[in-house]
Amino acid sequence: MRSAEVVVALFMFGLGALVIFDSVRLGWGWGAEGPEAGYFPFYIGLMICVGSLVTLFQVLLGSQSKGHKVFVEWSALRLVLQVLLPAAVYVLGIQLIGIYVASAAYIAVFMVWLGKYGWTRGIIVGVGVSAVTFAMFEIWFQVPLFKGEFNPLSLIGY
Amino acid sequence: MEEINALFHGFSVALTPFNLLLMFIGVTLGVLIGVLPGLGGANGIAILLPLTFTMPPTSAVIMLSCIYWGALFGGAITSILFNIPGEPWSVATTFDGYPMAQQGKAGEALTTAFTSSFIGAFFAIVMITFLAPLVAKFALQFGPPEFFAVFFLTFCSFIGMGKEPPFKILVAMMLGFALAAVGIDTVTGQLRLIFGWHELMRGFDFLIAVIGLFGIGEILLSMEEGLSFSGRTAKINTRIVIETWKKLPKYWMTSLRSCIIGCWMGITPGGATPASFMSYGIAKRMSPDGAKFGTGQAEGVIAPETAAHAAGTAALLPMLSLGIPGSPTAAVLLGGLLIWGLQPGPLLFVEQKDFVWGLIASMYLGNIAGLIIVLTCVPLFAAILRVPFSIIAPVIVVICAIGAYTVHNAMLDIWLMLLFGVMGYAFKKLSYPLAPLVLALVLGDQAEGAFRQAMLMSQGDMRIFFSNWLVGSIMGLGLLMLVWPVMGKLMTQLRKSAA
């Protein structure tokens, strides 16, 4: 728990510093037409830095650590990564082959790997969900969704 | 009785067959969203928002607000039957709702919850009907310093009322402001905080943030808990409903108190979740059966449900009359209004009478529609919860991805959604609050605009924020909220040392 707290606090401090840095570049003072572009963000960045520093000290001095709680058990983290990594691959899939095909594949694979379903069921649900989405967006609402850089659906005319 | 006339006019706007149909669809979708993990009021509406772009604004906002009502109702179903709060504000409902279901009184618990929700929301809507026009009229006199003061008050009350560590709230909120500042500065036209990455020129859209933070983040959290649904079955029939309704009037005091707590917490952006806890806590202290709370007392369901709904509804008052939403979901609704070219705020009541009163009328109707739907369709919604998580989770991720894409038709947004998802997960685990982040992201530009205009008026003199009694007292109230937790601590210490 503690190391995660420290990492996040430091990360936020870094973000705050980044905001201050860019605000200073833009000018954080009083220009010819009133406050410059960095005027407001400068103080925002400053408050992020102060807030994360205080949080950091509170964590390090232990005023907030209620016992030694672990941020996440390894077994649970594995479960989380089991969802997160496929999700990342899925987003990459959308980029390449579009929302419809990637979604069908993602749902099917997820069901087979994590849900221990057979391939037939996985594919039926995956393709079914994609087909319903397709009907809803492309045909009913006429809102075209992203079909990927290599659009496989161009084979059927979309 | 100008309001009554306007309201009846509103009913005539809202009561078209098309709008009624949208109401029922909206409530059903909303309950569905409330029941499913990873989809809540805020991100559910964010995802469905693009689908309403083609509708006339009044119909669209009627449907969206009905989704909101539905989501408020839906949270109670999972809490009572499955001991899983579908929404954060229904956590307190599990304390007594689930024990009731275990004792075989699931139908009674659900009827109690739905009826209380209805009463809470109804109370808040009546309040909105009469108070919102007054607030709006009052706010017409506001200039930039006053508006900034209201923003200041809003954000200070997050810090003062939040149950998270104050400095974490500050960091989360300021991160929201920083994200809002990314992109083109509207005053000088300069590019801010994009570090040469021109895709960021548009800035961060808060809808993407909402979908990622609440949707993907929630899925990751539920996955970690290794969700296994083992729920109670519920039967609701007319007899149970009437039996329960007969018992409810004796709890009128709890009900009224919860309504007031809810309204107060909803207007000041404490939000539905703290309202439900506070109301539960107070009911426990005040009730003669207080010691039995947690074992399945109807009163323990009434208190949090009434307050949560009153708060959820009351959050729309500052959104409509000042343009400052009291909750993330209200913020998403506000985002919708902006997309249709409706600027919420005091002028809305003058310039868009039809729209405002149609919306308020639809709140009455939507709540009635909601009550009917939840009372009749509980078994159906409970059945959805029995669909295994390994099917629901990927489907929800897919829905979130589509939702994120449709906001601007931009692929980058789907990646950002994923990033926000990881952030939402880490923030939730480390108790950084998400609501102030989202509100700051929504209101950041306006708050900055008001601040800069005020500064221009005074040539950089901060004393403008205390220059007249109005702006001074709002700022003072904000400062009071800010030091509230410190004062509370001091008081208890003083009392200790006195004793």
Q: Pick from B53, B192, B220 the residue to mutate for testing the A interface (most A CBs within 10 Å).
A: B192
pLDDT at residue A149, rounded to an integer: 82
As a whole number of angstroms, the distance between CA A152 and CA B339 comes to 33
Return d(Cα B248, Cα B23) in angstroms, integer.
27
CA dist B490 and B499 (Å) reads 14
Identity of the residue numbered B352: Q
Q: What is the rounded average pLDDT for all residues in chain B?
A: 84
**Interchain contact, B181 vs A8, CB within 8 Å:** no
Q: Which of B258, B274, B204 is nearest to B438 (CA)?
A: B204
Please state which of the ranges A20-29, B80-89, B452-461 shows the lowest mean pLDDT: B80-89
- H or E stretch including B132? helix B106-139
Q: What pLDDT was estimated at residue B231?
A: 58
What is the pLDDT averaged over residues B424-447?
87
What pLDDT sits at residue A71?
A: 63
- A100 in B contact zone (CB under 8 Å): no
Report the C-alpha gap between A144 and A134 in whole angstroms.
Answer: 9
Among the partner-chain residues B216, B220, B452, the one whose CB lies closest to the CB of A35 is B452
What integer pLDDT is reported at residue B274 of this predicted model? 76
Measure the CA–CA gap between A79 and A77, rounded to whole angstroms: 5
Q: For residue B184, what are the β-bridge partners?
A: B191
Mean pLDDT of B271-300: 83
Instruction: List, as ranges, residues 112-151 from A with C-beta within 8 Å of B.
Output: 114-117, 125, 129, 133, 137, 141, 143, 145-146
pLDDT in tens, B160-184: 777 788 899 999 999 999 999 998 8
Q: Is the pLDDT of residue A154 over 80?
A: no
For residue A9, is pLDDT > 90? yes
* Dihedral angle sign, alpha carbons of residues A64, B271, B135, B131: negative
- Sorting pLDDT into bands at 50, 70 and 90, what band is B120? very high
**Hunting for tokens 């221990």 — which residue is that?**
A116
Contacts with A132 from chain B: Cβ below 8 Å: none
Residue B341 is predicted with a pLDDT of 78
3-state secondary structure of B184: strand
Task: Give the DSSP letter string of B401-444.
Answer: HHHHHHHHT-HHHHHHHHHHHHHHHHHHHTT--SHHHHHHHHHH
Contact list, B426 vs chain A (CB under 8 Å): 4, 8
pLDDT at A125: 93
Distance separating alpha carbons of residues A15 and B409, to the nearest angstrom: 28
Of A51, A79, A103, the CB nearest to B226: A79
- Give contacts of B187 with chain A, Cβ < 8 Å: 33, 37
- Asked if B402's CB is within 8 angstroms of A145's CB, the reply is yes
- CB contact under 8 Å between B397 and A87, yes or no, is yes
B192/A26 CB distance under 8 A: yes
* Whole-number average pLDDT of chain A: 86
**Residue in the block written with tokens 């058990």:** A73
Q: Decide if B173 contacts B155 (C-beta within 8 A).
A: yes
Is residue B326 within 8 A of residue B268, CB to CB? The reply is yes
Distance from the Cα of B102 to chain A's closest Cα (Å) equals 28
User: What is the pLDDT averaged over residues B226-249?
Assistant: 72
The answer to whether the Cβ–Cβ distance between B193 and A146 falls below 8 Å is: no
Contact B71, B369 (CB under 8 A): no
Q: Which residue of A has its CA nearest to B431?
A: A5
| Pairwise CB contact (< 8 Å): B174 & A34 | no
**A34 → closest Cβ in B391, B421, B456:** B456
Q: How many Cβ pairs within 8 Å bridge chains A and B?
A: 171
B233 closest CA partner among B79, B86, B107:
B107
Q: With an 8 Å Cβ cutoff, is A57 touching chain B?
A: no
Q: Give yes or no for residue A103 having a pLDDT over 80.
A: yes
Question: What mean pLDDT is predicted for residues B393-418?
Answer: 90
Could B394 and A80 be called an inter-chain contact, meaning their C-beta atoms sit closer than 8 Å?
no
b/e string for B128-161 if b means 16 or more Cβ within 10 A? bbebbbebbeebeebebbbbbbbbbbbbbbbbbb
pLDDT at A63: 54
Interface probe with A: pick from B179, B391, B446, most Cβ of A within 10 Å: B391
What is the reported pTM?
0.84
pLDDT of residue A12: 94
Which residues are paired to A35 by β-bridges? A30
Q: Which residues pair with A30 in a beta bridge?
A: A35
B390, B422, B455: residue with CB nearest A34: B455
